[in-house]
Structure 1
């Protein structure tokens, strides 16, 4: 494991890869933009990897975790070919309680289809790490104890049965977390969990990430990379 004094690992957060002409939540990048962003990483000598690979590396120098939330079907159509072309790995956080459904939690739309069980298995078969995003994309900090445990525990069990492989990573829907949700994730057996800005909570179950969007050109990526490294405390325990 990396030393506790090493800076916080840089983990990039993506969602949908496709047409971004209607994108009220700014969660979509076009395949061409993704290709340019990954090319920028390569030019800087950085390698995109899954979060598990990032945390397991003897040193995180030169590595960037690439994560894709929600499990949209466009991951297979558009993101995976770009990742494969660059030789990059990634982690895909999916919702086993919404297999073949859509992003009904986004009231403004547009509706985006989610991967089926076969689609998730296809991604896993291509070497993509599969992690849990909960069952149905609820704000877990507002869920009662029974619902919270169901979202965290049952989603892991469902994905392990679906893929036939261990699931070690969790991603908090909306990036929201508190000590109760972190404790539940830990008790469920996850070894790491991704947030956005976890505030005062730190450690491998509260990993901060940097949102990457359509407008993130080379200059913006460089600034996000530098600011992330400068403003974060080391993440102890990984």
Structure 2
């Protein structure tokens, strides 16, 4: 039996928005493709919102969570205008330990610049929810306890100081998590966490998401939207 739509929120996972000619990890969509994807949502009566807005809505019917991981600098120039054109919100997960740096964790490259502190503030002023992706994009399941606490708790504190706003959401680098990591996220004061496939962990701190890429045309988007709601079990506690 399919889970009720209300109990299985659909959250799309984006990364970079820009030139995807050299994209070995398939993390980039062009601004034109993003525009077409958001147009597809809007034609079907769906509106992209931040994860906090999605979870707080009395009814999630007609709402889709939009998330952008890693905090690439192209978000401000290439993603923000498209989101605004379609009256969509989003959550941007950033790395306060790599401000103004690049995606050094991707060995195949290409090197993509990350947002500076000013860039993150620009996104926040535009109404984008800012969430933490940890400090430096490490696999938290392999981190020692002290490093885990720093990645989770210190990153939240730094972002709250940077934006002068509370930070509610955490995104697990690489999508990897276990119960120890989820417990650390809870203890740090986050109200939700975004994963990819959380496995047996069922919690608002381990929300499943659907990867959206350059090849996701209307047909693929429809299938991903439908299959997510049919295959995902209800998330307990939301």
TM-score interval, smaller chain: over 0.9
Equivalent pair of 2:5/2:229 in contact (CA under 8 Å): no
Aligned counterpart, 1:137: 137
Q: Which deviates the most, 37-46 or 4-13?
A: 4-13
Structure 1 residues 17-166: aligned runs within 5 Å: 17-166=17-166
Distance in 1 (alpha carbons) for counterparts of 2:171 and 2:130: 11
Distance in 1 (alpha carbons) for counterparts of 2:227 and 2:170: 25
Equivalent pair of 2:31/2:82 in contact (CA under 8 Å): yes
Deviations 1:76-115 (A, max 9, x none): 0100000000000000000000000000000000000000
Q: CA deviation at 1:5?
A: 8.5
Q: CA deviation at 1:7?
A: 2.8
Runs of 4+ in 1 over 2 A off after TM superposition: 4-7
Q: Secondary structure at the match of 1:130?
A: strand
Aligned counterpart, 1:15: 15
Q: Secondary structure at the match of 1:9?
A: coil
Equivalent pair of 1:7/1:229 in contact (CA under 8 Å): no
Aligned counterpart, 1:196: 196
Aligned counterpart, 2:224: 224
Distance in 1 (alpha carbons) for counterparts of 2:52 and 2:7: 17
Q: CA deviation at 1:236?
A: 1.1
Q: How many aligned residue pairs are there?
A: 235
Where in structure 2 are there 5+ consecutive unaligned residues?
Answer: none
RMSD of equivalent CA atoms: 0.9
After TM superposition, the score normalised by the length of structure 1 is 0.98
After TM superposition, the score normalised by the length of structure 2 is 0.98
Where in structure 1 are there 5+ consecutive unaligned residues?
Answer: none
